[in-house]
Amino acid sequence: MHIEAWSFLANAITRIHDTRGNEHLSELRVLEFGAHDVNGSPRQLFNGCAEYVGVDPWPGRGVDWMGKAQDYDGKGRFDVVITAEAMEHDPDAQGQVISAWRALKPGGTLILTAAADPRLPHRCDGYQGDLAGEYYGNIDPEVLRGWLSDWVDVAITHDTNHGDVYAVAVKP
């Protein structure tokens, strides 16, 4: 994960801790889509939380449940869902938003970072060039806004210098 995405996640998570008042880290249940730790994971930002589940279609460090995000049913028990630098590698990126909705409690927060224009295509391992059969599609901030239309407190930022889109949204 590149430094700009990491910084966004760290700041967004700090705001969650600040706004939850009496809810301590030890009470949070966190779900991460795209959890295979290739070059950094937000998991370490939640050390000591009540539960942290990493979902990814590929086995590896940070993966607790192997499969597509769209197939994971969090049953409304999570406080936070994170998808960090994973949506652009999923041909059904909108399905990650739908699955996050299912997984979150009312008042739960979705935090996401993804590649957007003008970022060049890259594989899941971060290398540019031949995609080796992997899917890739930058996430358009306006399309993302549509996917989040039923959420509240939606904040979307498009960093065109680094080719990123960042978002935080709350399930009503």
**pLDDT given for residue 22 in this prediction:** 41
**pLDDT given for residue 19 in this prediction:** 58
**pLDDT given for residue 109 in this prediction:** 95
**pLDDT given for residue 14 in this prediction:** 80
**pLDDT given for residue 134 in this prediction:** 82
**pLDDT given for residue 21 in this prediction:** 46
- DSSP for the chain reads --HHHHHHHHHHHHHHHHHTTT--GGG-EEEEES---SS--GGGGGTT-SEEEEEESS-STT-SEES-GGG---TT-EEEEEEES-GGG-TTHHHHHHHHHHHEEEEEEEEEEEE-TTPPPB-TTS-BS--TT----PPPHHHHHHHTTT-EEEEEEEETTTTEEEEEEE--
Model pTM score: 0.92
Q: What is the pLDDT along the chain (172 residues), one digit of tens a residue?
A: 788 998 999 999 887 765 554 457 788 999 999 999 887 889 998 888 999 999 999 899 999 999 999 999 999 999 999 999 999 999 999 999 999 999 999 999 999 999 899 987 776 776 677 788 888 899 999 999 999 999 999 999 999 999 999 999 999 9
